């Protein structure tokens, strides 16, 4: 990671522990609409995918249009994020602390960082703020510069490579010098399609699925990355 110029973090499942909440709520909305699924099904089949694609799949399964499904789902999510907050993923603060330390010691060699998510900007800002992480992604050279990227800004979603390429070019880096940290199959595929290295966090996704998607490295937790980086300092 130290030889990268830019580290692109996925948001849900990599920075914020939102997946258990959102998959529970999505399963609830889909079940209410008539297709009885649980949170585990949602994690396996829907996590990290474009919500519009999921919407179409649910409509096909139920056999009728569901014009308010996404709106209802988002409304419930925002309500729960506001009332309950969203925890940061375990170990992420330690990883960011270490990157800060590297930056202080060797500012010219240290990587920049940004966030790129399939989720809407509002959701990203809300969950990053709620978990105390948003200020940790301010651009270190110029706080006015953009470091948060949503697929909705360019209307292209992972597994397409466009979002990561957009983030890299806006931040001013070549794809080959970027490392992506992802927790989903679609995110790993997007990183590889963009010509970037992909580190996959195997928490809710089985390691072999991440491997098949092309992950260059699979870790069980952020602590593993912290240990490795420390050992090389």
Whole-angstrom distance, CA of residue 84 vs CA of residue 99: 29
- Binding map of Mg ion across residues 19-58, x = CB under 5 A, - = no contact: -----------------------------x----------
Q: How far is the CB of 101 from Mg ion (least distance, A)?
A: 26
Closest-approach residue to Mg ion (CB): 13
Q: How far is the CB of 84 from Mg ion (least distance, A)?
A: 19
Helices marked H in the chain — which ranges? 19-33, 39-46, 51-62, 69-84, 92-105, 121-130, 151-154, 162-171, 185-193, 207-212, 222-231
In terms of CB distance, is 13 or 111 closer to Mg ion? 13
184 touches Mg ion by CB under 5 A: yes
Contacts of 66 (CB under 8 A, 6+ apart): 33, 55, 58, 59
Range in contact with Mg ion (rule: CB under 5 A) among 6-14, 60-68, 80-88, 202-210:
6-14
In terms of CB distance, is 1 or 201 closer to Mg ion? 201
SS3 of residue 182 by DSSP: strand
SS3 of residue 65 by DSSP: coil
Choosing from 183, 185, 191, 201, the residue that interacts with Mg ion (CB under 5 A) is 183
């Amino acid at each position: 990671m130290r030889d990268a110029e830019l580290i692109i973090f996925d948001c849900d499942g990599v920075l914020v522990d939102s997946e258990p909440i959102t998959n529970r709520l999505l399963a609830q909305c889909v079940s209410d609409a008539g297709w009885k699924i649980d949170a585990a099904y949602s994690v396996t089949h829907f996590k990290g995918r474009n919500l519009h694609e999921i919407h179409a799949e649910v409509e096909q399964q139920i056999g009728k249009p569901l014009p308010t499904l996404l709106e209802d789902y988002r409304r419930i999510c925002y309500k729960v994020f506001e009332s309950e907050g969203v925890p940061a993923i375990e170990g992420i603060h330690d990883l960011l602390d270490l990157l800060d330390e590297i930056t202080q010691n060797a500012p010219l060699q240290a990587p920049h960082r940004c966030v790129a998510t399939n989720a809407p900007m509002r959701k990203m800002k809300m969950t990053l703020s709620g978990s105390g992480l948003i200020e940790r992604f301010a651009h270190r050279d110029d706080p006015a510069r953009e470091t948060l990227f949503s697929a909705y800004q360019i209307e292209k979603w992972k597994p397409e490579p466009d979002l990561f390429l957009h983030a890299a070019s806006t931040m001013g880096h070549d794809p080959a010098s970027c490392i992506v940290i992802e927790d989903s199959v679609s995110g790993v595929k997007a990183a590889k399609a963009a010509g970037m290295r992909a580190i996959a966090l195997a928490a809710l996704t089985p390691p072999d699925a991440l491997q098949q998607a092309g992950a260059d490295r699979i870790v069980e937790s952020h602590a593993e990355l912290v240990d490795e980086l420390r050992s090389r300092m």
